[in-house]
């Protein structure tokens, strides 16, 4: 016996679309920065740190740029 009264069978999303977009763009920016750092001749760990820190730092400006 099913006691659900909703007609929508899809579960609620874990992350809103806006937040997912901001995270994807930040990861893309970080990947580009890491790739450019690696291409510039530095070691892989330095390029990873540069890419990850760029992705983290770009979250706040992207939050303000992407409209609500």
> Can you give the pLDDT at residue 28?
97
Domains of the chain, residue spans: 17-65
DSSP codes joined into one string, the chain: ---------SPPPSS-HHHHHHHHHHHHHHHHHHHHHHHTT--HHHHHHHHHHHHHHTHHHHHHHS--
> Can you give the pLDDT at residue 35?
97
Between 2 and 24, where is the model more confident? 24
- Tens of pLDDT, residues 9-58: 788 888 899 999 999 999 999 999 999 999 999 999 999 999 999 999 99
């Amino acid at each position: 016996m099913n006691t659900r009264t909703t007609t929508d069978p899809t579960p609620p999303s874990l992350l809103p679309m806006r937040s997912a977009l901001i995270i994807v763009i930040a990861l893309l920016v970080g990947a580009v920065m890491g790739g450019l750092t690696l291409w510039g001749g530095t070691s892989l760990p330095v390029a990873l740190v540069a890419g990850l820190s760029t992705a983290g730092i770009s979250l706040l400006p992207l939050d303000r740029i992407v409209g609500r």
